[in-house]
Amino acid sequence: MRIVIIGAGAMGSIFGAMLSSTSDVVLVDPLERHIAAIAENGLTVEGAGGTREIFRLHGTTDPDTLAPDFDLAVVFTKSPDTRDAVAEAKSLLKPAGMALTLQNGLGNLDEIVRVLGPARALVGVTSHGGTMIGPGHVRHAGKGPTFIAGASPETRGVAEVVAAFRDAGIDTARTEDPDTLIWGKLVINVGINSLAAILRVPNGVLAATPACEILMAQAVAEAVAVAERLKIALPYGDPLAHVKEVCRKTAENRASMLQDILRGARTEVGVINGAIVDKGAALGVATPCNQFLSEMIAALEATADHRIE
Ligand code: PAF
């Protein structure tokens, strides 16, 4: 399968490396020094146990240099860049090629459906964790299952994509309900990401600190209330217990929103806590904790240049 990864940050690079063992993979990312380092020295993937593997991958900052002959585009950009990434995917795919989002937050699959239609749109969630160490160098911080669903019953090629992931050694299963998949991950991100970014702590601290749990419980309860109003079933029984379990399993991880805040980048708060606020407002569900967390992150982003370290 010919696969283009659009957005080769930590997670995009790690999936690109894994998929390259059995597929023909190209990375597309605007970060010149990362792409140049990969061209010169290969992509170094550091494992959790200190292992190091170098992958020879083709990468480019300019998707216009690539032929439109890809079977699959995996969208791994930050969500504010999804619209551009999906437009790029469209121009790089074969006429029947598919696009898969493995991003955090609400609205990414909708964008693929809008541009390519439901028959070519896939969504997935993954428990792999990654951190960018430097140009051409990522840490594969944690491994876990990946789940993939088609946007609708008429989506073609889900089985082929799942098979391509599994052939590359990625523990992947197909699920049938995209909303359950998306909201299952969204509730986790609602409970973890903005709190980790505001408090500047790794995920494990959130579950081990009662004062954090009070806020986490409130943010999660609001997200669950919105999901219930939308009649979306979550893939686990006790959402707060599940979010705390994810914190424990990814205890050493810096949540992606914390990584964004630390490098002064835009965060995904708008499609995580902000999405709960927007949906809650439309449905008449109160979401004061998610509103507060969204506003705190917006204030953190806006004051980055004045921070006293
Ligand atoms: O965004 C993230 O960092 C991850 O989705 C998660 C699961 C919160 C682990 O850090």
My answer on whether 12 and 86 are in the same domain is yes
307 found inside a domain: no
Q: In this structure, which residue's CA is closest to atom 10 in ligand 1? A: 255
pLDDT digits (tens, 9 = 90+) for 122-161: 999 998 988 899 999 999 988 889 999 999 999 999 999 9
- Chain-centroid distance of CA 45 in Å reads 18
Q: Are residues 184 and 69 in the same domain?
A: no
Q: Evaluate: CB of 253 within 6 angstroms of ligand 1.
A: yes
Of ligand 1's atoms, which has the minimum distance to the CA of residue 203? 10
Residues 9, 112 share a domain = yes
Distance CA 242, CA 249 (A): 10
Of all protein residues, the one whose alpha carbon is nearest to atom 1 of ligand 1 is 256
Q: What is the pLDDT of residues 44-95, one digit of tens each?
A: 999 978 899 999 999 999 999 999 999 999 999 999 999 999 999 999 999 9
Which token pair is 210? 């009662």
The verdict on 170 and 184 lying in the same domain is no
Residue of 182, 189, 267 best suited for mutating to test ligand 1, as the one with most atoms within 8 Å of CB = 189
Which pLDDT does position 127 carry in this prediction?
87
- Say yes or no: 148 and 293 in one domain: no
Residues 6 or more apart whose CB falls under 8 angstroms from that of 117 comprise none
Residue type, 289: C
Q: What is the pLDDT of residues 5-36, one digit of tens each?
A: 999 999 999 999 999 999 999 999 999 999 99
Question: pLDDT-derived band of residue 187, with 50, 70 and 90 as boundaries?
Answer: very high
- What's the confidence (pLDDT) of residue 170? 98
Q: For a pLDDT cut of 70, what percent of the chain falls above it? A: 100
State whether the beta carbon of 82 lies less than 6 angstroms from ligand 1.
no
Q: Based on the fold, state whether residues 158 and 190 are members of the same structural domain.
A: no
CATH code, domain carrying 266: 1.10.1040.10
- Amino acid 256: pLDDT: 93
Looking at the structure, do residues 28 and 157 belong to the same domain, yes or no? yes
pLDDT of residue 249: 87
Residue 234 lies in a domain: yes
H/E run at residue 146: strand 146-150
User: Does the pLDDT at position 272 exceed 90?
Assistant: yes
Q: Which amino acid is at 237?
A: G
Distance of CA 227 to the CA centre of its chain: 20
| pLDDT for the residue numbered 35 | 98
Average pLDDT score, the chain: 96
Domains in the chain: how many in total? 2
Is residue 188 in contact with ligand 1, taking CB distance under 6 Å? Answer: yes
Q: Is 103 in the pocket of ligand 1 (CB under 6 A)?
A: no
The finding on whether 155 has its CB within 6 A of some atom of ligand 1 is: no
Phi, psi of 195 (to 5 degrees): -65, -45
For ligand 1, the distance from its centroid to the CA atom of residue 132, given in whole angstroms, is 14
Q: Which of 78, 94, 143, 185 is catalytic?
A: 185
Angle between helices 210-229 and 288-302 (to 10 degrees): 120
- Tell me if residue 27 falls in helix, strand or coil: strand
Q: In what side-by-side order are the strands of the sheet with 2-6?
A: 58-60, 24-28, 2-6, 70-75, 93-101, 121-126, 146-150, 172-174
| Residue 185 appears among annotated catalytic residues | yes
Of the candidates 132, 159, 176, which is a domain's last residue?
176
Provide the domain limits for residue 271.
180-302
CB distance 255 to ligand 1 below 6 Å? yes
Do residues 147 and 272 share a domain? no
Atom of ligand 1 minimally distant from the CA of 256: 3
The last residue of one of the domains, among 114, 148, 176, is 176
**What are the residue ranges of helices labelled H in the chain?**
10-19, 32-41, 82-92, 108-116, 158-167, 178-199, 203-208, 210-229, 239-249, 256-262, 273-283, 288-302
Residues 13 and 101 in one domain: yes
CATH classification of the domain holding 9: 3.40.50.720
Query: HEC states along 255-273?
Result: CHHHHHHHCCCCCCHHHCH
User: Per the domain annotation, does 308 fall within a domain?
Assistant: no
| 309 domain-assigned | no
Choose the residue to mutate in 104, 185, 201 for probing ligand 1, maximizing ligand atoms within 8 Å of C-beta.
104
Q: Give a yes or no: residue 262 inside a domain.
A: yes
Task: Examine the domain organization and report whether 190 and 257 are in the same domain.
Answer: yes
Confidence of residue 280 (pLDDT cuts 50, 70, 90): very high
The last residue of one of the domains, among 123, 145, 176, is: 176
Looking at the structure, tell me whether residues 108 and 212 fall in a common domain.
no
pLDDT of 143 reads 86
**C-alpha atoms less than 13 angstroms from C-alpha of 133 in its C-beta half-sphere:** 15
Per-residue exposure over 106-133, b if at least 16 CB sit within 10 Å of its own CB, e if not: bbbbebbbeebebbbbbbbbbbbbbbbe
Is the shortest distance between the CB of 192 and ligand 1 below 6 Å?
Answer: yes
Specify if 200 maps to a domain: yes
CA nearest to 235, candidates 284, 160, 180, 153: 180
| pLDDT tens digits, one per residue of 214-261 | 999 999 999 999 999 999 999 999 999 999 999 998 888 889 999 999
Domain membership of residue 186 (yes or no) is: yes
| pLDDT at residue 229, as a whole number | 98
* In a shared domain, residues 20 and 150: yes
Check pocket membership of 259 for ligand 1, CB cut-off 6 A.
no
Alpha carbon nearest to ligand 1 atom 9, residue: 255
